[in-house]
A and B are shown apart, each in its own frame.
Chain A
Amino acid sequence: MFEDLSLHILDIVENSIRAEAKNIKIKITENLEKDLLSIEIEDDGKGMNEEMVKKVLDPFVTTKSGHKVGLGLPFLAQASKMANGNIFIKSKPGKGTKITAVFQHSHIDRQPLGDIKETLMTLIIGNPEVNFIFTYRRNGKKYHLDTKKLSKNNLKNLLNNLNKIFENFPREVKNE
Chain B
Amino acid sequence: MPKLKLEDLQKIKEKVRRETVLREGAGKAKITVHMGTCGIAAGARKIMSVILEEIEKRDVKDIIVTTSGCAGLCSREPMITVELLGKAPVKYVDLTEDKMRRIFEEHVLNGKIVKEYMLAIGSERVD
| Residues in A lying within 8 Å of B, measured CB to CB | 1-2, 7, 10-11, 14, 17-18, 68, 70-72, 75, 115, 118-119, 121-123, 125-129, 151-156, 158-160
Contacts and interface: CB of A to CB of B under 8 A. Distances in A.
Interface stretch (B29-37, B85-93, B94-102, B106-114): B29-37
A156 B49 contact: no
Contacts of B49: 118, 121-122
Q: Is the interface of A mostly helix, strand, loop or mixed?
A: helix
B56 A159 contact: yes
A125 B35 contact: no
A119 B61 contact: no
Given A14-B69, A155-B61, A155-B65, A126 B45 contact: no
A18 B70 CA distance: 11
Given A10-B35, A159-B52, A118 B45 contact: yes
A144 B23 CA distance: 26
Q: Sorted from nearest, which 4 A-B pairs have the closest CB atoms?
A: A126-B67, A128-B22, A129-B19, A153-B21
27 contacts: A7-B41, A10-B35, A11-B37, A11-B40, A18-B69, A72-B37, A118-B45, A119-B45, A121-B52, A122-B35, A122-B48, A123-B67, A126-B65, A126-B66, A126-B67, A127-B66, A128-B18, A128-B19, A128-B21, A128-B23, A129-B19, A129-B20, A129-B23, A152-B19, A153-B21, A156-B56, A159-B55
B23 to A, nearest CB: 6
Contacts of A17: 67
A156 B23 CA distance: 14
Interface in B42-81: 45-46, 48-49, 52, 55-56, 60-61, 63-67, 69-70
A125 B37 contact: no
B65 A125 contact: yes
The bracket for how many chain B residues form the interface is 20 to 34
B19 A14 contact: no
Contacts of A126: 33, 35, 48, 65-67
Nearest to A154: B61
Nearest to B47: A122
A121 to B, nearest CB: 6
A106 to B, nearest CB: 27
